[in-house]
Amino acid sequence: MPDTIHASADLSCDPLWCQAEACLRTLYGGDPRFEHSLSDLKARVADARSARPAALRHLDIVRADTPNWFLKPGRPAYCTYIDRFAGTLEGTTQHLDYLEGLKVGIFHPLPLLKPREGNSDGGFAVADYREVDPRLGTMEDLRALAAHLRARDMSLVLDMVCNHTAREHPWAQKMLAGEPAFADFYIVLDSANEVAEWEAALQDVFPDTAPGSFTYDAEAGGYVWTTFYPFQWDLNYANPRVFVEMADSLFFLANAGVEGFRLDSTAYLWKRKGTISRNLPETHLILQALRALLTLVAPSTFLLAEAIESQASVLPFFGTPQARECDLAYNNGVMTALWGALADQKADVLKTTIERAGEKPGHGHWLNYVRCHDDIIWLALSDTAAPERLKHWSDFFAGKSSYAKGEAFQAPEGFPASGCGMAASLCGGKDDPQMPARLKLLYGVTYALEGVPLLYMGDEIALENFDAYRDDPELKDEVRWLHRPVMDWDRAERRHAPGSVEHDMYAFHRQLADTLSGLDFTPGQTVRTEAEERLVIIERPLAAGRFVCVANLSGEPVIHAVAGRVLIGSDNDTLPAYGLRWFIEEA
């Protein structure tokens, strides 16, 4: 098969280069540094294209006719921290059979690039984009893991923390050292009055543990923009050199075997005084340019938007067919509404959010999930659910007069506290006989939706809260470690023991994946409720017939007649408490 997609034609004539250049001229055309930055960027794109390894070039060619290769039914994503899953990158390769047993198609280890020493916000304070955390291994180990995954038809996805770096990153250190080329890589304000002017429109992300969006740094000579924690310095994307360096870092990692990037905190990239500095139009131009350039270098690589915002704010991160941005985005609204529906035993808000999710453009796709390493941010549905319902959900999953064994995190003033906890614990824990049914319901609905389902480490064996974080002096002040457990491989071995909850849950996830892999879906999805909104019913068209998922969100049985060939669940007309049924309505 001839390689026409990596041809070394003049980039100036390539439509993708022209698209990227147009976006960048809109952003930076008036900046005196722009033309030099553009020439440098073009050289880096050309170098990265020529440096693309043969195995990855072959992958690009094979996938050229299937750009949405990551949508293969029955191939979920699996998300974990490397150190908590297997200790090291090399150790992870010893557990690929475990992932293969779940039919995993996308392996997403959370931040593994070199972080700052000490507290690094779980690895999200990156000190070097071109080195791996030495506790986990080396870049060669990362390349080896990517190759092992490819051999099993699994794809490696990494976090790209593109909004900020650690204070210890070389770019920040060069700025502090006074190197002119790095003079404004970060945003530093001169006075407290300036800070107050900006802060007036901003919203704290961590109001309890890191209030405010600026940190005074004497060495930097002012107040550094720090949206998240004081050691995480926000990059200044108004400087075209920042874009060039970040794009080149993406090229480097793509050529190391990374097949997808989770773009962390995408909503925050561009800042403008008088606004909340999230979801601004300039951010979308940055993403359009990155998408076009990455397609030039690594055409089969996808971008995943991590924008935990309202659904209306997330949809633009897909871009348009003519100006694409991210290929996937976290379906945060549906995830949050699914937990809310479980608390209320009522599917009205869930139905609304699933319908809104259907408003995405055809080229964009959802990553559907139940839990992840982050908190459940109820305020993301503040434009959909009444404040009192959000407050009820927050209290419910913090364990107030409920079966849930979670804890409250933090939220901006006036909003309900976010929720923390492993899914099994939020569903009642090991001592609650309904926990397995609730957990299966959540994942049964998640796998049934259009898009890519994500399985969070431990949910496949009903792993519970990591309460031991309180005994670790480096973790005890960060409640989110409650749902970042160490993998219990002794419990995982019990997946081979019939009658155990581990066997039941692992087999269930395998059944979900096996069932989906045998279905020939066509685009489209509808949702409705029945039985006083206790039932949510999702339907998706097949080449022949319809796939139907029925989920009983209530703690009482509901009569619902079987209307087709049952795939998963009972064929009895009574759907039990928290019962799930998948079936096919024949054409």
Q: 442 lies in a domain?
A: yes
User: Does residue 204 sit in the same domain as residue 70?
Assistant: no
How sure is the predictor about 5, in pLDDT bands with cuts at 50, 70 and 90?
low
Q: What is the C-alpha to C-alpha distance for residues 397 and 344, in angstroms, rounded to an integer?
A: 11
Q: Which of 517, 549, 575 is the last residue of a domain?
A: 517
Question: CB of 481 within 8 A of CB of 466?
Answer: yes
Q: Which of 470, 492, 517 is the last residue of a domain?
A: 517
Q: Which of 427, 428, 586, 581 is nearest to 512 (CA)?
A: 581
**Structure confidence at residue 82 (pLDDT):** 98
The CATH number assigned to the domain holding 184 equals: 3.90.400.10
User: Does residue 409 sit in the same domain as residue 508?
Assistant: yes
Does the structure show a pLDDT above 50 at 235?
Answer: yes
* pLDDT (average), residues 379-399: 96
How sure is the predictor about 3, in pLDDT bands with cuts at 50, 70 and 90?
low
* pLDDT (average), residues 92-111: 98
Does the structure show a pLDDT above 70 at 7?
Answer: no
User: Does residue 197 sit in the same domain as residue 61?
Assistant: no
User: Does residue 48 sit in the same domain as residue 150?
Assistant: yes
Q: 288 lies in a domain?
A: yes
How distant, in Å, are the alpha carbons of 332, 457, 465 from that of 418? 13, 21, 16
Reading the block at residue 206, the tokens are 């961590």
The CATH number assigned to the domain holding 427 equals: 3.20.20.80
Q: 241 lies in a domain?
A: no
> Which is it for the CA torsion 497, 500, 501, 504, positive or negative?
positive
User: Does residue 213 sit in the same domain as residue 298?
Assistant: no
The mean predicted confidence, pLDDT, of the chain is 96
**Structure confidence at residue 1 (pLDDT):** 46
Q: 3 lies in a domain?
A: no
**Structure confidence at residue 4 (pLDDT):** 58
Q: Which residue has the tokens 């986990």?
A: 136
Does the structure show a pLDDT above 70 at 158?
Answer: yes
Q: 60 lies in a domain?
A: yes
Does the structure show a pLDDT above 90 at 30?
Answer: yes
**Structure confidence at residue 10 (pLDDT):** 84
Reading the block at residue 405, the tokens are 């064994």
Using DSSP's 3-state secondary structure scheme, residue 525 falls into coil
Q: 448 lies in a domain?
A: yes
Does the structure show a pLDDT above 70 at 281?
Answer: yes
121: Cβ–Cβ under 8 A, 6 or more apart, which residues? 228, 229, 231, 232
Question: CB of 346 within 8 A of CB of 533?
Answer: yes
How sure is the predictor about 413, in pLDDT bands with cuts at 50, 70 and 90?
confident
Percentage of residues in the chain having pLDDT higher than 70: 98
What is the strand order of the sheet 546-552 is part of?
526-530, 535-541, 546-552, 580-585, 565-568
Q: 1 lies in a domain?
A: no
Domain count, the chain: 3
Reading the block at residue 72, the tokens are 């293969």
Q: 242 lies in a domain?
A: no
User: Does residue 356 sit in the same domain as residue 482?
Assistant: yes
Does the structure show a pLDDT above 90 at 560?
Answer: yes
- What are the tens digits of pLDDT across the range 290-347? 999 999 999 999 999 999 999 999 999 999 999 999 999 999 999 999 999 999 999 9
Question: CB of 393 within 8 A of CB of 339?
Answer: yes
User: Does residue 431 sit in the same domain as residue 571?
Assistant: no
Helix (H) or strand (E) holding 435: helix 435-448
Using DSSP's 3-state secondary structure scheme, residue 355 falls into helix
* pLDDT (average), residues 217-243: 98
Does the structure show a pLDDT above 70 at 361?
Answer: yes
Reading the block at residue 116, the tokens are 């700052």
User: Does residue 35 sit in the same domain as residue 155?
Assistant: yes
User: Does residue 399 sit in the same domain as residue 439?
Assistant: yes
**Structure confidence at residue 8 (pLDDT):** 58
How sure is the predictor about 2, in pLDDT bands with cuts at 50, 70 and 90?
low
* pLDDT (average), residues 479-490: 98
How distant, in Å, are the alpha carbons of 70, 80, 506, 516, 526 from that of 73? 9, 21, 18, 5, 18
Question: CB of 240 within 8 A of CB of 164?
Answer: no
User: Does residue 357 sit in the same domain as residue 487?
Assistant: yes
Does the structure show a pLDDT above 50 at 408?
Answer: yes
User: Does residue 291 sit in the same domain as residue 424?
Assistant: yes
User: Does residue 208 sit in the same domain as residue 317?
Assistant: no
Percentage of residues in the chain having pLDDT higher than 90: 96
Q: Which of 356, 381, 374 is nearest to 366 (CA)?
A: 356
Domain limits for position 533? 526-585
**Structure confidence at residue 157 (pLDDT):** 98
The CATH number assigned to the domain holding 581 equals: 2.60.40.1180
- What are the tens digits of pLDDT across the range 282-305? 999 999 999 999 999 999 999 999
